[in-house]
């Protein structure tokens, strides 16, 4: 049987192998895609469309599926699926269609699947640069723990990395050049996706001060704990880093909602405000789908609108 003669449902296992081998996505991501696409295949089966071929998939069928998702109930809370959850199912289906295109299997183009608009339920909380500076200055850098905490905060803001990515950093990944101007390394991010991240000269200077205090230990992890149980790895957990950020946020007097992801949001909005295009920001953040990155454009658009209102209202001119 030719690939084009196989029903859509029969392609799903091939697709999962594809994202494993060619996209290098991890096992958890494959399981997630399998779960998301199973909802679509179950829906097809319920409509007696199990034998539907890729080229028979139409915009009308996709619309019916979207209507079905909008009426679906989340079994965990017995409420309708949120727009964001509906989009996860649609994104999985988009990726399946991209697989068809890559394998020259005639089907509906993935861009024909429009995502649900998230609307006002998407809120991005971030700090202004004055608040960032207060946060960075909060740790007492006269102590070893304070130097570590300052290095963590600087790394979060310089790179825009996720807290789990920060926790996973190893000491030997940070080879600080003598000039201490900048550093680029590759990390394995969400879903096993490899991307480059960049450390500023300021961040590297604090990392160097911190690492200079660790000349006598052989611990693999970049960021380690100094208190508590000494057996096993000393690597800081994501929860530990979250607690460190919260502690210094309180000390600095910045908004109480400040967590590591707040600093990632701040990195993103600052980059956009300074003219970085959305596709480049997507690469910086390691987002697999551009729609995830686009939430920041709404924030920056409002910032620009407020700036225009404040500085260019024309109120000083005579009418």
Q: Which residues are catalytic?
A: 162, 190, 261, 264, 287, 296
Contact between 54 and 105 under an 8 Å Cβ cutoff? The reply is yes
- The burial class, CB within 10 Å (0-12 / 13-18 / 19+), for 233 is exposed
Token reading at 32: 């997630």
Beta strands in 16-88 (DSSP E): 73-74, 79-80
Residue 237 is given by DSSP the state P
Q: Could you identify the residue written with the tokens 């789990």?
A: 164
Burial grade of 175 (CB within 10 A; 0-12, 13-18, 19 or more): exposed
Looking at the chain, how many residues does it have? Answer: 319
- DSSP annotation of 313: S
Distances (CA, A) of 41 to 49, 102, 178, 276, 286: 9, 21, 56, 40, 29
């Amino acid at each position: 049987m030719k690939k084009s003669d196989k029903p859509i449902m029969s392609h799903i296992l091939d697709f999962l192998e594809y994202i494993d081998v060619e996209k290098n996505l991890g096992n958890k991501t494959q399981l997630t895609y399998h779960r998301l696409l199973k909802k679509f295949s179950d829906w097809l089966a319920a409509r007696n469309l199990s034998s539907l071929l890729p080229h028979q998939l139409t915009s009308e069928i996709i619309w019916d599926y979207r209507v079905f998702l909008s009426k679906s109930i989340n079994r965990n809370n017995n409420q309708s699926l949120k727009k964001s959850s509906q989009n996860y199912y649609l994104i999985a289906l988009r990726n399946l269609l991209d697989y068809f295109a890559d394998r020259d299997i005639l089907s509906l183009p993935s861009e024909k699947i429009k995502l649900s608009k998230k609307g006002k339920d998407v809120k991005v909380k971030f700090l202004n640069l004055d608040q960032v500076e207060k946060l960075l200055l909060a740790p007492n850098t006269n102590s070893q723990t304070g130097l570590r905490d300052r290095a963590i905060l600087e790394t979060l803001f310089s790179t825009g990395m996720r807290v789990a990515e920060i926790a996973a950093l190893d000491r030997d990944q940070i080879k600080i050049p003598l000039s201490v101007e900048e550093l680029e390394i590759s990390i394995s991010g969400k879903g096993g996706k490899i991307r480059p991240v960049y450390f500023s000269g300021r961040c590297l200077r604090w990392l160097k001060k911190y690492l200079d205090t660790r000349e006598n230990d052989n611990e693999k992890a970049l960021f380690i704990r100094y208190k508590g149980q000494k057996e096993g790895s000393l690597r800081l957990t994501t929860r530990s880093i979250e607690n460190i950020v919260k502690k210094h946020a309180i000390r600095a007097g910045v908004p109480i909602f400040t967590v590591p992801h707040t600093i990632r949001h701040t990195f993103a909005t600052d980059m956009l405000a300074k003219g970085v295009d959305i596709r480049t920001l997507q690469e910086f953040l390691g987002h697999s789908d551009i729609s995830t990155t686009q939430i920041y454009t709404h924030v920056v658009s409002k910032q620009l609108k407020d700036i225009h209102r404040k500085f260019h209202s024309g109120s000083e001119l005579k009418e």
